[in-house]
Amino acid sequence: MTDVVLTHSYHLANDPKQLRKMQPYAPLGTLYAAAALRSAGVSVAVFDTTLQDPIDSFAQVLRRHRPGIVVIYEDDFNFLSKMCLTSMRATAKRIADIAQDAGAIVIAHGSDASDHATDYLEAGVDYVLTGEAEQILAELCSNLLAERPVGSIAGVLRRDARRNLVGGTSESVKNMGWSKIPRAARELIDLEPYREAWTGAHGYFSANVVASRGCPFHCNWCAKPISGNKFQVRPAAAVVAEIRELKELYGVEHIWFGDDIFALNRKWTEEFADAMQSQKCILPFKIQSRADLMTQSTVDALARAGCAEVWMGIESGSQAILDAMDKGLRVADVDGARERLKAAGIRACYFLQFGYPGESWAEIQQTLALVRSTCPDDIGVSVSYPLPGTAFYERVRAQIGAKRNWTDSDDLCVMFTAAYNNEFYLALRDALHAEVDSWKSGSVNSAASVRAAWESLREREPGARNPNATEFATPTSIATNSMQDFVPLQQLSAAGGHA
């Protein structure tokens, strides 16, 4: 008998876009929670749903381990969990049903559970954990297993005997001891299916690592229900030791850093590069960061450490849109970052976001011009997605209908009144991806196809406009991050406040 079975709700087969990409990674957040429980003397098994059926296999896992507690602990270090996909919510609720039928206490943690705790509790979950929950999970499970009163634990939400919601704090709990938790307990899952998936699709084996947690920047569309704006980083030597273990013990050939923001601290990045070189465990790796962090010294350190690819949150080529997002980034920073990375032999890739209120055809053209002038090695295109807890969500929440979350990572449904209809943004995404891909192929036929796609989009653009598109009320609201609602463009024009 095992005290706790930990699982999560992401299943690759439920996400067509990611299934096509075939780049699966182990659920690090879940495995960190397992390490925290084992440190507290709790016996743990992990049921990893990424590459195996989360429903049919789960009942067998419960019969084998007969746990007193089942914890649905999402991977806080994977952007897919942060997107709060409804496919994952449905899987989590089904797992909770099966666990309850087996007589287990059910605990849930993750971005979606934090945003919709009441829904999870009504669906049969006994406790919802908020914030950075490894320590409170260990405390709660220890009390439950010892049949001690749970009492009031910060960050734990539950129903009382009268079905009233109790618990919680005004701010998410922060686990300041996270960097001291033993490394993620990868030995509790089978990494061989990951190796087979990667080598079959790409010819090498990539694994994930995190060096830091959280992000201190204040982009007003970015949801941070777990860490808020708190940032903490592990010692560089500990990160390098983990990479060396992955290389030598598991035969890993490539690393993806799941950090929200890598290389925030120049000194830490240089220490990391020094350790990678001295430990002779350099592997090519991919990170997510910001263009304004790609200074010459940082790029030099990344290159020494083996960095092969940097994904930067560029979002827009319009300074007005970047300012409206509270991005804190200058368009000029992108050019410099691209040139420095290119000179160092590091692929520079852009995350782009279309549809943010205030973006018109002119601002879209500025983004296209930036992409064409800097020629990134790859791009990822999305549309603005209002998630609870963000200033953006509060401004447009009155416009959001019954559909409040994307179903899967390729959904891209515009859930507020944007400047254009959904079909336009999908066509825009496809045309831009096709153009960037055509640079690599150099095919005449490909170039002709791209020109045709842009011509079609230009012809469709006037008819795709939304006459009631949301806009910021005044320039002041953009500068001050006001919580005022967006108002229809027609209303602003009638009031003389917007041309």
Query: Looking at residue 171, what is its pLDDT?
Result: 60
pLDDT tens digits, residue range 130-144?
A: 999 999 999 999 999
Mean pLDDT, residues 16-42:
97
As a whole number, the mean pLDDT across the chain is 92
Cα–Cα distance for residue pair 110/49, rounded to 1 Å: 15
CA-closest candidate to residue 263, choices 237, 242, 293: 293
Query: Looking at residue 168, what is its pLDDT?
Result: 62
Residue 291 · residue 334 · CB < 8 Å: yes
Mean pLDDT, residues 375-400:
95
Query: Looking at residue 179, what is its pLDDT?
Result: 80
Give the pLDDT band (50/70/90) at residue 169: low
Q: Is the pLDDT of residue 495 over 80?
A: no
Cα–Cα distance for residue pair 47/28, rounded to 1 Å: 13
Mean pLDDT, residues 389-413:
94
Cα–Cα distance for residue pair 212/288, rounded to 1 Å: 11
Q: How many CB atoms lie within 10 A of CB 350?
A: 26
Q: Is the pLDDT of residue 477 over 80?
A: no
The two beta strands, 212-213 and 232-233, are: antiparallel
Cβ neighbours for 499, distance < 8 A, ≥ 6 positions apart: 493
Mean pLDDT, residues 97-104:
97
Q: Angle formed by the axes of helices 86-101 and 56-65, to 10°?
A: 40
Q: Which of the 8 DSSP states describes residue 420?
A: B
